[in-house]
Amino acid sequence: MKKTKIDHYTDKEALDFHKDKKPGKIEISSSKNMTTKRDLALAYSPGVAAPVRAISDNPEAAFDYTSKGNLVAVISNGSAILGMGNLGALASKPVMEGKAVLFKRFADIDSIDLEIDSENPDEIINSIKNFAPSFGGINLEDIAAPDCFIIEEKLKEILDIPVFHDDQHGTAIITTAALINALDISKKKIDRVKIIVNGAGASAMACANLFKKTGVPQKNITMVDRTGVIYRGRDNLNQWKSSHAIETKDRTLDDAITNADVFLGLSAKGALTKDMVKKMAKNPIIFACANPDPEITPEEIEEVRDDAIIATGRSDYPNQVNNLIGFPYIFRGALDVRSKTINEEMKIAAAHAIAKLAKEDVPDEVIAAMGGERPHYGRDYIIPSTFDPRLISVIPAAVAKAAIDTGVARKKIDNFEIYKDQLKQRLDPTVTIMQGVNSYIKKKQKKVVFADGEDENTLKAAIAFKNSDLGIPILVGKEELIKNQIKKIGYNENFDIEIVNSKNTAKREKYVKFLFKKLQREKGMLEWDCDRLVRNDRVIWASCMVACQDADAMITGNTRRYSSSLEKIIKVVDPRPGEIMFGLNLVVNRGKTIFICDTSVIEYPDAKQLAEMAKSAARVAKLFGFDPKVAFLSHSTFGEPATDRTKRLSDAVEILKNDKVNFKFDGEMQPDVALEEMYKELYPFSEIVGNSNVLIMPSQHSAAISYKMIKSMSRAKVIGPLLIGLGLPIEIAPLRSSTSDILNLASIAAYSADVIDYKKFS
């Protein structure tokens, strides 16, 4: 079991992140066009009167005419914030906004955070009851026990929408899924195992309750709190702890752990010792889920047992028990059938769906999204990855079906296969592309040169690259200036990161020799010309580092124009033989991902160049897990109107037909024809009309203008441009890129260094 380093950030970086652009993490946008007077009249007065009357006549119509059916309230009073304790309602707002972001990111659910400034359960219940009609569901968060039990129980009685305290039930569902599979792997029966639950808070009690509902007998679960074992007859037990009391002579964790099959820790660091682990039964199941430090580390367990199945709450070990696998998808299923509640059957259905998913073979598209090696069901893989894109179709469907079967759904689903397809379309695979890339490169630890080391955003990206354990960054620049920048960001100026420059005589002589050998005949350059380039130009220096194998990959740009950086790079690095260089952007907007080229290199490509771009772009799309559907774009569609400028595009289509490529393509066509499904019936002969995802533009001008307009005027996320066709893994960030943009390109450069065999091009 391998442990990797946890991401680290300074407080200043976290504060800057939350303050940047608009403060906070969420905003509200209109789902309808609001451009004309008619639009405004329909949205407000007088048009709004029609849905008002419809809802007055039939309250269920609110699901049809308002956002209620896809809107969840994320509610806290800040009495138990993320392990930090009672810091108050207002202090909990960043956490609740974060939860709202996760709902949207993983399940396309809109949510609003509401912080209630009260520690009186009755006041909180009354507040939620009064504004609940606005929402399709209520997610309670970070509310201390026992108030969280009281509030949830009462709200479930009085409201007819799902109420879910994630700290309890999210943890319980994921842990139960892990238990189901761990018992299967260890060949143990659920009705015979002895389970120790260390901790008696909200999540511990919820886990114990769901274990019982899943088949564990009450007498087989021993719960331990700070005082010791919760046994029948113990003094001063509240009603919730009393429900978990059992007849037993055990009084301490050390007593109870003897011959235990399962240990579930939701308590504190160090609660479980190696001596206790030794006393457990054969093939023990140990879920040490205290965060950030588990009750016992996997390394400590492995020192004394080689037969244990281990899970933790941390992302740097296998088998992470993470609520993110549960709550977004559980609410998605509940909302889609307009469920009145989230009952025990729905929770159990979610747990079994999660457990079953871990047993299934992991397909290639999931590997592309998750990164790394293909996981296989077993001791180190009992729970699916948080970033498994199959979660969105599997869990909501199971939850929705359970809601229908138990009679709490207001809406039926006639065809679950169609429903699963609709769920898949809510989220785009690109939301997990970088997670997959990063998971992969963490195992490879490539050296990546950040050529513009003195630039603040580049420096932040390099530090994030190091702290996220993505690889080994190398900064090019003056040491004193870089150290000052590091201090400005909030780190110690002696932060452990390599800095290089032309003062390194040995490297400089090596690079000059390499460059002179390459350029003396090719460009007629003298050795002192090469020396001047190496000494004075960081892009040249960094490119030589990669070419001379002192680094694996490189990222530059941000401080100069793209063309200027490329001009310097190609003095050092040649294109791949037989390929052309071009810029390729991934653009993600509203659940749709498209690849756009050429955005950066060839001003006016001919038909052959367009065809070669299509081949390379299709290859890259496949590398990222997409089935390429290539459209050659123009102002005309299939020859109408026909002009001399469209012939290059139709000729490129013919070239691909003759080459018998293994991807779908067509053209020329206008962009709306390529992207919008309504055009399919007009052009039924084309397989890609309405669903194209690789767009070959007629010129660099149109490509660059298009993607920059999309990026500037919409919510689109852009990754790139990726420099395709160069003989080494080097990427160029556009002028004034963000830290995130630079980090993504650095990761892709490191990824390319491993998955592409550059040696065959040299």
The pTM (predicted TM-score) of the whole model is 0.72
Phi-psi map region of 24: left, alpha, beta (phi>0 left; psi -120 to 50 alpha): left
The reported pLDDT for the residue numbered 481 is 93
Answer whether 663's CB lies under 8 Å from 565's CB: no
List of residues 6+ apart from 441 with CB closer than 8 A: 371, 470, 471, 747, 750, 751, 754
The reported pLDDT for the residue numbered 523 is 65
Q: How far apart are CA 58 and CA 54, in angstroms?
A: 6
Which tokens in the block code for residue 38? 């008619």
The reported pLDDT for the residue numbered 624 is 78
Phi-psi map region of 378: left, alpha, beta (phi>0 left; psi -120 to 50 alpha): left
Distances (CA, A) of 171 to 202, 205, 206: 10, 10, 8
Q: What is the 3-state secondary structure (H, E, C) of 387-446?
A: CCCCHHHHHHHHHHHHHHHCCCECCCCCCHHHHHHHHHHHCCHHHHHHHHHHHHHHCCCC
Answer whether 308's CB lies under 8 Å from 299's CB: no
Answer whether 418's CB lies under 8 Å from 400's CB: no
Answer whether 460's CB lies under 8 Å from 558's CB: no
Answer whether 310's CB lies under 8 Å from 335's CB: no
The reported pLDDT for the residue numbered 6 is 42
Hey, which residues are catalytic here?
44, 99
Task: Give mean pLDDT in consecutive 10-residue pieces for the chain, a chain of 762 residues.
Answer: 51 79 79 80 88 94 93 95 86 93 91 96 97 96 92 95 92 95 96 95 92 96 95 92 94 96 93 96 95 90 95 86 91 96 96 94 64 80 86 94 97 92 72 74 92 91 89 94 86 85 91 88 77 91 94 92 90 87 86 85 91 92 86 88 77 92 91 91 90 92 87 78 91 88 92 77 47
The reported pLDDT for the residue numbered 82 is 77
The reported pLDDT for the residue numbered 494 is 78
Which tokens in the block code for residue 527? 């050795």
List of residues 6+ apart from 109 with CB closer than 8 A: 70, 71, 72, 103, 328, 331, 332, 335
Q: What ranges in 583-642 are assigned the alpha helix state H?
A: 607-623
